[in-house]
Amino acid sequence: MEALIRQHARIALQVSGGRDSLACLFLLRPWWDKLTVYWLNSGDAFPEVAEIMAKVRALVPHFVEVDGRQPDIIRQHGIPSDIVPASATPIGIMGQGGGALIQGRYDCCWRVLMQPLHQRMRDDGITLLARGQKNADALKSPLRDGDVLDGFTYLFPIQDWSEEQVDAYLATQEIQPGPFYASMGSTPDCMTCSAWWDENRAQYLKARHPAHYALYQQRLDQIQQAVSGHLEAFNREVTA
């Protein structure tokens, strides 16, 4: 890792506030003066995450916050969902005369999270990009430590770690991850994201952020209304 870092003058560490990225942050402490910490603030960040990132900002010498503009993206492209019915697309709404505009979960994540951060990496001339990706992660990119793509060399310092190793290491550091892992299993980027239904968001929001829980449930109701007719038609077809 040290030899790789020495080869690059423009190094980025992407930190979300989750436990994996925090572990990378402290592992890379000897090179903090050489790297810049980037945080993509979705525009709908949990206050628990914002508090963690304020501590990170105070610790490191170089810190950049990138604006994800989630509220604007949702106004323009619709609420995110794990199921997108044809009637809730722009063409479907135009043809059928109304209803909620809905976009796919990955479309929303690309627009809010991935594209703005990727573009900032390019604009800043980054050549070495560090992330907290692990082989044990259920959802991960096909890239591995040391791979090169689109001008970036990727550094995954905890690639071979288990979740237990990450937790044990973080217990020795001055910043602890947020309380999400007790019920959600991850640190989400957006409070009111109406996709990623397997994250158990409703329970966490209801207990800790009731106002945002109400907005979240309102969006789920819109999705349910948009999807229900399609599911009924599908079930008729599949059982015919």
In the chain, the amino acid numbered 164 is: E
Q: Helices 201-208 & 210-238, crossing angle to 10 degrees? A: 160
> Which is more confidently placed, 1 or 202?
202
pTM: 0.94
The pLDDT, as a whole number, for residue 139 is 87
**Residue 152 pLDDT:** 96
At position 152, the amino acid (one-letter code) is: F
> What are the residue boundaries of the structural domains of the chain, listed by start?
2-238
Quote the CA–CA distance of 128 and 38 in Å, as a whole number. 13
Reduced DSSP (H G I as helix, E B as strand, rest coil) percent helix, strand, coil of the chain, to 5 = 50, 15, 40
Q: How many CB atoms lie within 10 A of CB 3?
A: 6
**Token pair in block for residue 28:** 């890379």
Domain range 2-238, CATH architecture = 3-Layer(aba) Sandwich (3.40)
Average pLDDT over the chain, rounded to an integer: 96
Tens of pLDDT, residues 104-120? 999 999 999 999 999 99
Among residues of the chain, what percentage have pLDDT more than 70?
100
pLDDT digits (tens, 9 = 90+) for 142-173: 999 999 999 999 999 999 999 999 999 999 99
Q: What is the pLDDT, as a whole number, of residue 30?
A: 97
Average pLDDT for 205-229: 97
Residue-level pLDDT at 99: 87
Q: For 31-57, what is the mean pLDDT?
A: 97
pLDDT exceeds 80 at position 98: no
**Mean pLDDT for the stretch of residues 54-62:** 98
Mean pLDDT value across residues 124-133? 98
Say if residues 154 and 143 touch (Cβ distance below 8 Å): yes
